[in-house]
Amino acid sequence: MMKIIDLRSDTITLPTEEMRRAMYEAELGDDVHREDPTVNRLEELAAEVMGKEAALLTTSGTMSNLLGVLANTRPGDEIIVGSEAHMFWYEVGGASTLGGVVIRTIPNDEDGKLDATDVEEAIRSENIHFPKSALLCLENTQNRCGGAVLTCEYTEEISGLAHRHGLQVHLDGARIFNAAVALGVPARELVAPVDTVNFCLSKGLSAPVGSLFCGTREMVERARKWRKMLGGGMRQAGVIAAAGIVAIEKMVDRLAEDHANARRLVAGLAQIPGFSVSPEKVPTNIVNFEFPPEVSDFVIKIGERGVKFLSRSGRSVRAVTNRMVGAEDIEEALGRINQLVKEAS
Ligand SMILES: *Cc1c(COP(=O)(O)O)cnc(C)c1O
């Protein structure tokens, strides 16, 4: 049997044995009445690691980011978002549809950053014709920019600018622990300058479900009410939270292995004729590369050989290393790619 090597996303990671045991043994209650001790424990832990007053368990990163919009704005406000942001591309336009806000995009550079001058120019002055600029949204790590990492200094600078103009700042930190591990700083330092933050348990941290929305007690209470309206009041959610606690306590440090495997993959691809890669641009677990024109339908063909990638546009492909794929699997994947390219040329 050919082993499937799945590099489509780190969301494919399955819960660990320890998570499954914790889920089975979790003490439970009705979380809508705040009576689930395991959810309460996860939320306290999340608030502590993020250095915020409070946290709220949500169904997904998409819901957490939507809560970031709903809690920080009013309908008719404008939010400023990177042109490559997950919130702009992949969240079904929820900010506009459900939050009633205008989405203003400004370009992300290759390193996932927004230019301070662009941000400043996008912030509206008081004028009867204009919507109010209410919220700046950042993303760390920046998914579409190849898992790019925003530093503490940058986050502080750009958030300070937004705050000086009266905007709130929400950080989509779906993979904030990847950034923290890559920089060797605690996550709480990276998120200190922002008002609200989302992070995902269900990506590289390997929990089956869930994200956390974190901020001041007041913000989290507003978000809690919105979460209920959205149908996200989850009753005995301790079964989910139990895995989340293991994710935060046990699964952060090992993200360094995913980063090492991403570098291993990109180094291998650089050796195969025709592949276009930027080894210097692989700070975390996401690798964007281009396959050679001779190999048409690369993603489909290599998929038939048991190596799964995600197709971007044109010849661009995304790989995300994760706990289900070890160093030896990366070598195996490179071997299969080499073979495919040889046969195609
Ligand atoms: C995955 C992801 C999300 C959304 O998380 P879901 O749980 O899939 O809704 C948000 N932002 C970024 C950057 C992501 O990669």
pLDDT digits (tens, 9 = 90+) for 110-143: 999 999 999 999 999 999 999 999 999 999 999 9
Atom of ligand 1 nearest to the CA of 61: 5
* CA 343 / ligand 1 centre spacing (Å): 37
pLDDT of res. 1: 82
Mutate to test the pocket of ligand 1, among 11, 58, 62 (most ligand atoms within 8 A of CB): 62
Residue nearest to atom 10 of ligand 1 (CA): 61
**In the predicted model, what is the mean pLDDT of the chain?**
97
The rounded Å distance from CA 266 to ligand 1 centre is 23
Same domain, 244 and 274: no
Bridging pattern class, strands 307-308 and 78-82: unpaired
Task: Tell me the mean pLDDT in the region 93-116.
Answer: 98
* Confidence at residue 155, expressed as pLDDT on a 0 to 100 scale: 98
Ligand 1 centre distance from Cα of residue 263 (Å):
23
Contact 284, 147 (CB under 8 A): yes
| Boundary residue ending a domain (199, 233, 250) | 250
User: Are residue 225 and residue 296 in the same domain, yes or no?
Assistant: no
Q: Please state the atom number of ligand 1 nearest to the C-alpha of residue 172.
A: 11
Ligand 1 center from residue 65 Cα (angstroms): 9
Atom of ligand 1 nearest to the CA of 65: 10
Whether residues 166 and 259 fall in one domain? no
Question: Which pLDDT belongs to residue 189?
Answer: 98
Distances (CA, A) of 264 to 34, 123, 125: 45, 42, 48
Return the percentage of the chain with pLDDT > 70, whole number. Answer: 100
> Would strands 196-200 and 211-215 be described as parallel, antiparallel, or unpaired?
antiparallel
Task: Report the CATH number at residue 100.
Answer: 3.40.640.10
Could you list the residue range(s) of the whole structural domain that residue 63 is in?
17-250
| Angle formed at CA 156 by CA 281 and CA 146, multiple of 5 degrees | 20
Contact residues of ligand 1, CB 6 A cut-off: 60-62, 65, 86, 139, 143, 172, 174, 200, 202, 211
Q: What is the pLDDT of residues 275-299, one digit of tens each?
A: 999 888 899 999 999 999 989 899 9
Which residue's CA lies nearest to atom 3 of ligand 1? 61
The number of distinct structural domains making up the chain is 2
Q: Are 188 and 275 part of one and the same domain? A: no
Same domain, 246 and 258: no
- Please check whether residues 277 and 132 belong to one and the same domain: no
* Average pLDDT estimate for 69-92: 98
Q: Specify the CATH number for the domain of residue 303.
A: 3.90.1150.10
- Say yes or no: 54 and 71 in one domain: yes
| 45 and 115 part of one domain | yes
pLDDT band at 344 (very low <50, low <70, confident <90, very high): confident
Judge contact between 147 and 111, C-beta under 8 A.
no
Measured between its terminal Cα atoms, the distance across the chain in Å is 27
Of the CA atoms within 13 Å of residue 119, those in its CB half-sphere come to: 28
Pocket test for ligand 1, best of 12, 84, 86 (most atoms within 8 A of CB): 86
Same domain flag for 103 and 221: yes
Please state whether beta strands 211-215 and 286-290 pair in parallel, antiparallel, or not at all (unpaired): unpaired
Q: CA 104 to CA 81: how far, in whole Å?
A: 6
Q: Mark which of 221, 250, 279 sits at the end of a domain.
A: 250
Answer yes or no: do 225 and 299 share one domain: no
User: What is the model's pTM?
Assistant: 0.97
Tell me phi and psi for residue 133, to 5 degrees.
Answer: -75, 115
CB contact at 8 A, 289 and 276: yes
Closest-CA residue to 197 (of 187, 185, 183): 187
- Examine the domain organization and report whether 185 and 330 are in the same domain: no
Cβ(334)–Cβ(265) below 8 Å? yes
Residue 46 pLDDT: 98
pLDDT(345) > 80:
no
Last residue of a domain, one of 207, 232, 250: 250
What is the 174 CA–ligand 1 centroid distance (Å)? 6
User: In which order are the strands placed within the sheet that holds 310-311?
Assistant: 286-290, 316-320, 310-311
Q: In this structure, are 266 and 313 located in the same domain?
A: yes
Is pLDDT of 75 > 90? yes
